[in-house]
Structure 1
Amino acid sequence: MNEELIGKVKLNYSYYKGTDLYSDGIIEDKMLEIAKTHENCEDVLAEDSRWPILYHFSTIRQNILEWFPFKKDAEVLEIGAGCGAVTGALLKNDLVVTCIELSKKRSMINAFRHKNYEKLEIIVGNFIDIEITKKYDYITLIGVLEYAKLYIENNDNPSIHFLKTIKEYLKEDGKLFIAIENKFGLKYWSGAKEDHTGILFDGIEGYTTNNNSAETFSKNELKSMMDEAGFHGIEFYYPYPDYKFPLHIYSDKRLPQIGDMVLDRYNYDQDKLSLFDEKSVYDNLIKSQMYDMFSNSFLIVAEKKTITKT
């Protein structure tokens, strides 16, 4: 069976190889049960705030894209859709959504969460194996680019190869969205473990301990990668405290002001040291016009081609 309908959502298994390559473990069975039995999955957080459930079911996740003025009925390709934490924001914006996701179980969770939306198709499989025959108005990589080297083999620079490949699936006036941690984010200096490896100062030191892990980048590295991949009109946004749970999204047109960085605790997945007062350092960075280099995360919006703006 290559297809399955869950409500109005089509699950496409044509490229699924029978094994989920990415999982949070047995808790995903609980998450699937929640998605099947709850109209609003976030309701469970009052009783169960374990990290995977908080991460996948909190509607705060949608803030990363919900604000953007998308064109109505435009087509979007969401690569690495996971359990659908951001999918809902796209559907609520009247977009026609195609998701690509490695995990069948996560795809089923996504489908049950959004079973009443007929504008959703979920393709289960590895992006590099899937035959994409159309071009999209928007493509999203939310927490995905950092894993490029784990899934793209035999390439000297898998991240740039990945970006160049994605660019071919955008319409001429299409836009790419990337959300990713900043390897020089202030939280890493102040005592947070690297999000993917769980090692203190790992990204700051250049990932010298594990070359087979996910890898994040600085603002300058990301800008250089986007330039080399041929993207234009590159705009950086700064989700605070990060792109996973963005309560505010700043931009180069409206950077944070002194006193805006007020959160004491926002690192919910791992224990965090406290080597200095982050709020005071943030204020000093803002005063010195250096906040953008130390933002914990980035949201990048880039255009396929140069577009004259009026």
Structure 2
Amino acid sequence: MNDITPEIRKLFLKYNGDIKTLLQENPNVDYLYALSDIRENLLEWYEFDQNASLLQVGSDYGALTGLYSRRVKEVTVLDPNDNDLSFNRLRNQKQENIRYVAGELEAFEEEGFDYVVMVGSLKAPYEQQIQKAKSLLKPEGKLILALCNRLGLKYQAGAIPDQVRLSRAEVLELLCGAEGNRGKAEFYYPMPDYRSAMALYSDHYLPGKGDLTHAILAYDYPKYLRFDLGKMYDEVCEGKQFETFANSFLTIWSRHEEN
């Protein structure tokens, strides 16, 4: 997503924080992803420990910060961009349990978090970032990661993918190692993607043929698709390959087998 913080801030102040009216009168997919409450669908269902501490890596216009602050005791937002942090602080000014820190993940030294959350904020080198994030967790802590799938049907149909995009196999190896013995990763598949989750599947509940025939359209699909997405989803689901071709992943990793 482009850095639209200055214009977002200007609009937010113009509409006195009325995001619904702002989006109605300023139709723009970047504004939607930055401000809409649909962003919270990704983790609204998750049962966070209300006494926990959470590190949010990447401010992301405060799209999920409010949700975290309502669900856990303490939230720390880490981002190198002061403007992003400033807007997040403005957006969530009524929440008193949020702390804002300017800096990069690699240089962050605090430890002992119950959750470290990286939603669309993973950067290269990936292995170094993941290991750093894990080092900040308590022994029983959880790393929550969401990112774009390089093999997602949405992108094969012509939608523009994120700069960071990995396959399911790459994410699994990144989190658990080539031998799969570095903790446990639970995979979820938000549809149509992690920024606009309208449905959420998991390895325990996958869509079958017909479930995605009329696939939920993403807001950033191109005007003309390269193929019939509904038909292709049917083929993928019937062939039991949905996990491979889902548009994005939400993973919850812990050092222990239980998640």
Q: TM-score, normalised by structure 1?
A: 0.76
Q: CA RMSD in A?
A: 2.1
Instruction: Show structure 1 runs of 4+ deviating over 6 A.
Output: none
Match of 1:89, SS state, is helix
Change (3 A) 1:49 1:251: same
Q: TM-score, normalised by structure 2?
A: 0.91
**Is 1:188 paired with 2:155?**
yes
**Is 1:239 paired with 2:175?**
no
Which residue, 8, 27, 50 being the options, matches 1:72?
50
Counterpart-to-counterpart distance in 2, 1:105 and 1:181: 25
Match of 1:192, SS state, is coil
Counterpart-to-counterpart distance in 2, 1:67 and 1:258: 25
Match of 1:67, SS state, is coil
Moved more, 112-121 or 85-94: 85-94
User: Mapping of 1:30-109 within 5 angstroms?
Assistant: 30-36=7-13, 38-109=16-87
Q: Is the 8 A contact 2:192 2:216 kept in 1?
A: no
Consecutive unaligned residues of structure 1, counting only runs of 5 or more, are 1-21, 150-157, 197-213
Counterpart-to-counterpart distance in 1, 2:145 and 2:189: 12
**Is 1:224 paired with 2:166?**
no
Aligned to 1:275: 226
User: Mapping of 1:1-310 within 5 angstroms?
Assistant: 24=3, 27-36=4-13, 38-130=16-108, 132-145=109-122, 148-149=123-124, 158-193=125-160, 195-196=161-162, 214-228=163-177, 231-261=182-212, 262-263=214-215, 265-268=217-220, 271-303=222-254, 305-307=255-257
Q: Is the 8 A contact 1:35 1:109 kept in 2?
A: no
Q: Is the 8 A contact 1:191 1:272 kept in 2?
A: no
Match of 2:156, SS state, is helix
Consecutive unaligned residues of structure 2, counting only runs of 5 or more, are none
Q: Is the 8 A contact 1:138 1:170 kept in 2?
A: yes
Moved more, 105-114 or 175-184: 105-114
Matched pairs, number: 255
Q: Is the 8 A contact 1:42 1:59 kept in 2?
A: no
Match of 1:289, SS state, is coil
Counterpart-to-counterpart distance in 1, 2:81 and 2:239: 44
Report the alpha carbon displacement of residue 32 of structure 1 after superposing the two structures with TM. 1.2
- Tell me the alpha carbon deviations over residues 176-231 of structure 1, each in whole angstroms, 9 at most, x when there is no partner: 011000000011222223x23xxxxxxxxxxxxxxxxx331110111111122974
Moved more, 229-238 or 94-103: 229-238
Q: Is the 8 A contact 2:201 2:207 kept in 1?
A: yes
Counterpart-to-counterpart distance in 1, 2:242 and 2:205: 12
Counterpart-to-counterpart distance in 2, 1:102 and 1:178: 19
